[in-house]
Structures are given as structure tokens and as C-alpha cells.
Amino acid sequence: MLRGIIIEDDERDVKLLLRILKKVQPKLSCAVFSDGPQALEHIRSQKKRIHIIFIDRQLPHMDGFTLAEKIRECQRYILTPIVFVTGYSMGQLDAFQEYHCYSYLVKPISEGTVRQRIGPLLETLGREAKPKKLKRIIPFNIGQDVKFIDAETILGLEAMGRDCYLYAGTKSYRLPRQTIDMILQEVNEPYFTRCHKSFAVNLKKVEDIKKERRNIWKPVFSCENDFSCEISKTYYKEIMELYQKYLSRAD
């Protein structure tokens, strides 16, 4: 299923847009909100990724540009297509580009305009939403840059002070002011889980688990790396159940 969200306070515009979108891309299902704060809370709390976001320029409590800026602060939505629905013409183009928006629709909206401006995007999203195994590339904010990392290469996480360190392949990345729970939610894979108050591990990369000392176990990884972590008694039972579930499939 292709998931979208519409933030628009005019009920007539909402009904019109929903009707047009259903014709252009039948796979798209949209949640609807009439103001920015509620929509932002919904977006941040969703476990399943939202594929496209429609925002009215003028909203109560929070204007559309401010909402777009706050959405872009969510790491998983750095590159998600945002489409503004607005009464303004191309004179506002600079503002749309500032928030890295895909396009915009000028009211009154028509089916022809939707097909012209975002038809190819909706078609592409529909193909990508098919239930098949896709390579997951996840964007992470690292300092002033965005680093794109293949989820399958991630070995684990380590909490150090107020920061979190992500280990992928033979490299490590410092993620300032982020927690293990935040990154686990972003990656959102059942085989990638917390194993200690200070560590999380990708069980698909583990070939053995050995007893290190009393109430502490140590994963042995299937590839050379600089990541070393521990499994505490609190998480041991859950880790072993997941390990058997996912790793036994490779036998």
C-alpha cells in the first residue's frame, strides 16, 4: 500500500484532492489532518513510512512552510516528496525550493494539473511500494552532512555520552545527540535490536554468541570490523530467540 498524508483545513479542497488522487494513483491511501501540529505528531509517531506529503500553504496554528521545515528535521523524511497545495503562483517558487519540495499544486486543483505535475512521481512510488525485497538506503545526519547507509551493512550501535555511534562495514559514524532507541526506530528491522543498555546489534551479521563472563555474552561477527559489543542478561533470552529465528533460515 502506498501511504500519503494531506494537511489541509478546507474540507472541499480535501475531498477534491482525494478524488483526483484516487483516479491518478489508486494504490495511494491518504490520512487527512486540518492543522500542522496534529499532522506532525502523526508523522513522527508512524512506524510505517509515509511515501508522499501534501501540505496547504496556509494552515491554522502552523503555516505550511514551517510544517515542511519541521518534517525535514525528521531523519526518515529528509527526502520524502512534499507537494504544496497553494493559492500562490510561481512567484513563490524560491520558497518551495528552500524546503526541497517536489512540486506544488495551485488551487483550484484539477486532474490535469495533478497528472502533469506529480503523475510520474505517483507512478514511480506505486511501483516501489510493491511487496518485494528492496535494498534499503537510510539517510543519517552526521554533522553538517547526510550519509546514506545500506541497512544491510549495519553491524550495530554504541551509546557514548550524549551521542550514538553507528558501525557499518569497516566504518563508524558519530551521530550527535541521538539515542539507540531513535536509531532503532529509524532502521525498524526486527533483526536489529538492543542487546545491552549501551549496545544494539544486527543479528544477521552474527555467526556465533559466546559467554564472556557472568551474565555477559559476546556476539561473534561474520565479517572483519572494529565493532565490539556485549549482550546483557536482561536481553539475552530475547536475543537468542531472535537469533534462532532469523539466523536458522540461512542453514
The confidence score (pLDDT) of residue 248 equals: 47
The confidence score (pLDDT) of residue 134 equals: 59
Q: Give the relative orientation of helices 111-128 and 11-24 as an angle to the nearest 10 degrees.
A: 60
CATH node for 2-128: 3.40.50.2300
The confidence score (pLDDT) of residue 246 equals: 67
Domains 2-128 and 137-250 share a fold: no
The confidence score (pLDDT) of residue 251 equals: 41
The confidence score (pLDDT) of residue 136 equals: 82
Distance CA 117, CA 164 (A): 40
Burial class (CB in 10 A: 0-12, 13-18, 19+), 134: exposed
Task: Write out residues in the chain with pLDDT < 70, as ranges.
Answer: 89-100, 129-134, 246-251
The confidence score (pLDDT) of residue 174 equals: 93
The confidence score (pLDDT) of residue 57 equals: 87
Whole-angstrom Cα Rg for the chain? 22
The confidence score (pLDDT) of residue 89 equals: 64
What CATH class does 137-250 carry?
A: mainly beta
Domain locations along the chain = 2-128, 137-250
The confidence score (pLDDT) of residue 97 equals: 60
